[in-house]
Amino acid sequence: MQDFTFYSPTKFAFGRDAETRCGELVKEFGGSRVLIHYGGGSAVRSGLIDRVKKSLDDAGVSYVELGGVHPNPLDEMVYTGIDLCRAENVDFIVAVGGGSTIDSAKAIALGTLYDGDFWDFYSGAAAPSKALPVGTVLTIAAAGSEGSGDSVITKKSTMEKRGTGGECIRPKFSVLNPALTQTLPAYQTACGVTDIMAHVFERYFTNTKNVETTDRLCEAVLTAMKNEAPKVIADPNDYEARANIMWAGMVAHNNIVGVGRDQDWNSHGIEHELSGLYDCAHGAGLAVIMPAWMTYVMKHDVMRFAQVAVRVWGCDMDYANPEATALAGIKAFRTFLRGIGMPINFEELGAKVEDIPALVEKFGIGDGKTGGFVNLDRNDIAAIYKLAAEATL
């Protein structure tokens, strides 16, 4: 196990009607003038924004609002938000939505207190050190942004999708009410589950030895998702299954299951180019990319892939041929994804094989290499896109 620091000081209010605690939580963490940041009209139409406003009113906290965050959130909204926060002397941002809205809120929180262009944090030109405090009311279990110090934004002019991270943008509080996710279409729900599982897999595939405790915790989250996801696809109103998925989404990404080990994260990078170019859902892109990545890198550590095949997917261990077990695990993952309605290849995703050179170009590693589990160059990335393009069950 490697040395590490773990710090997850977000306060989670979990359960039915938890959004009514929003005002009290803003005050607890020192806010007095809030930007309510949200996405499409559904949060308004469902009455959720009104409930958040009422909670702030009841706590004597004033607010302004900014809706319209796009999935794969754009830099232009961030600039608008920064201007608004400065003009209105906002001292706390409450994001009401999923990962996109939360990530947009984090970018605004960074940019408001920064003299330069907020994009500096995403291009790597600057490191986050201070930001307005952020709270969240989560409406999609997926990104884990409600418990993480990460944010991903897309620059509209170039469609570059880039991330940043820092303690200062970790939410002070997050409201997790599983009932808010019951109105999500099955497709988005499944995208969320895929993202949660991908967050675990990115941590699970590691070269670090002797990480039994976090290995087992990773397998626990994966197994729970394997069992709970089909329930919500079958019955969108299954509060209990949604609650299990929502808590797993946080656990999967606040790093409690990933400490002390190298992590990979190539699948996320490879996927970002897909959702950047085609504006598809991140989870759907991961469903296409991650099994292809697994197939491509499997021989790097066949026994680790066999391990997850047996422990999570319930495959029989083929002791004479562990590679067969590893492959059976990848197939089981893809079958699971298809079963919850996810695409498994380019055609189903709406991506084009002829775009692969452009995707690799945008991936932008030049002659370099990337990835914590298997270090890949641009030819490897192209090969993974090709495997993903042509995948079948």
Q: Residue 62 has which token pair?
A: 């004033």
Give me the residues paired with residue 155 across strands. 160
Smallest separation, CB 232 to its own copies (Å): 12
Smallest separation, CB 124 to its own copies (Å): 26
Q: Which is nearer to its own copies, 259 or 349 (CB)?
A: 259
The single-letter DSSP state of residue 146 is G
Q: Which is nearer to its own copies, 151 or 255 (CB)?
A: 255
Scanning 14-22, 51-59, 123-131, 320-328 for contacts with its own copies by CB under 8 A, the matching segment is 14-22
In whole angstroms, give the CA distance from residue 31 to residue 16: 24
Q: How many CB atoms lie within 10 A of CB 353?
A: 13
What x-and-dash track marks residues 162-201 binding its own copies by CB under 8 A? ----------------x-----------------------
With tokens 């397998």, the residue in question is 219
Q: Name the phi and psi angles at 346, rounded to 5.
A: -60, -45
Q: Name residues contacting its own copies, limited to 284-343 (CB under 8 A).
A: none
The single-letter DSSP state of residue 376 is B
The helix-helix angle for 186-204 and 239-251 (nearest 10°) equals 30
With tokens 């405090």, the residue in question is 133
Smallest separation, CB 167 to its own copies (Å): 10
The HSE-up count of residue 98 (CA atoms within 13 Å, CB side) is 26
Dihedral angle, C-alpha 188, 189, 190, 194, nearest 10 °: 100
Q: Name residues contacting its own copies, limited to 212-251 (CB under 8 A).
A: 212-217, 219-221, 223-224, 227-228, 240-241, 243-245, 247-248, 251
CA distances from 306 to 172, 310, 372 (A): 39, 6, 19
Q: Which is nearer to its own copies, 57 or 240 (CB)?
A: 240
Smallest separation, CB 9 to its own copies (Å): 4
In whole angstroms, give the CA distance from residue 336 to residue 232: 14
Smallest separation, CB 74 to its own copies (Å): 32
Q: Are strands 150-155 and 160-165 parallel, antiparallel or unpaired?
A: antiparallel
In whole angstroms, give the CA distance from residue 248 to residue 265: 19
Smallest separation, CB 200 to its own copies (Å): 12
In whole angstroms, give the CA distance from residue 251 to residue 264: 18
Q: Which is nearer to its own copies, 13 or 85 (CB)?
A: 13
Among 7, 89, 127, 358, binds its own copies (CB under 8 A): 7
Q: Name residues contacting its own copies, limited to 29-48 (CB under 8 A).
A: none
Smallest separation, CB 173 to its own copies (Å): 9
Q: Name the phi and psi angles at 238, rounded to 5.
A: -75, 90
Number of amino acids touching its own copies (CB under 8 A): 45
What x-and-dash track marks residues 85-124 binding its own copies by CB under 8 A? ----------------------------------------
Q: Is 14 in the site for its own copies (CB under 8 A)?
A: yes
For the chain, first and last CA: distance in Å?
36
Q: Name residues contacting its own copies, limited to 249-278 (CB under 8 A).
A: 251, 256, 259-260
Q: Which is nearer to its own copies, 217 or 298 (CB)?
A: 217
Scanning 5-13, 58-66, 262-270, 362-370 for contacts with its own copies by CB under 8 A, the matching segment is 5-13
Please report, as ranges, the residues that interact with its own copies according to CB under 8 A.
1-16, 18, 178, 209-217, 219-221, 223-224, 227-228, 240-241, 243-245, 247-248, 251, 256, 259-260
